[in-house]
Amino acid sequence: MELYVVRHGQTLSNVEKIYNYVNEDLNQAGIIQAHALKEKIKDITFDAVYSSPLLRARHTARILNDNEDIILYDERLREREHGTLEGKPVTVTNRNDYWNYYKDAKDGNSESVKELFDRVKSFLDELKTKDYQRVLIITHNGVARVFHAYFEGIPEDGNMLDLGINNTEVKVYQL
């Protein structure tokens, strides 16, 4: 099964580099990015389209897929829950520690990398039971990091910070 993993289009929080879990919509650049990606993948047929239920991913999914009825929203694809970091600049944390699988760093009630990894792994385990050839998945940067680590391996030092993808970038994996 081929998985096409897409990060949602750009948001204001992406531009301002702040932690965001809430339902923020795409900005104008994000809408343009999503339409450009739609043009690039228009000839690919997907057996299923999965999306995070957060607004920015939902909006991207609707742009990429004209038939909204077939979009399957899954909570396991939502962004990492940042807890008390929500709305704060990403510079308030040691990002290498915060995204290190082995350090299991949390801030207050935030979700750890291991908890995020387990959530995404649960989604992938369930996906393995489906009879799909090609699946489109619209998600977030934190979840994209987990997909990369799941398929390519967790880096030896555990640091997953550099495993993310740009807005509307696509990574293809074999499940």
Which residues are annotated as catalytic? Answer: 8, 79
State the Cα–Cα distance between residues 89 and 67, nearest whole angstrom. Answer: 36
Unique residue bearing structure tokens 């799909």: 132
**80 residue type, one letter:** R
142 CB-side CA count, 13 A: 29
State the Cα–Cα distance between residues 77 and 62, nearest whole angstrom. Answer: 16
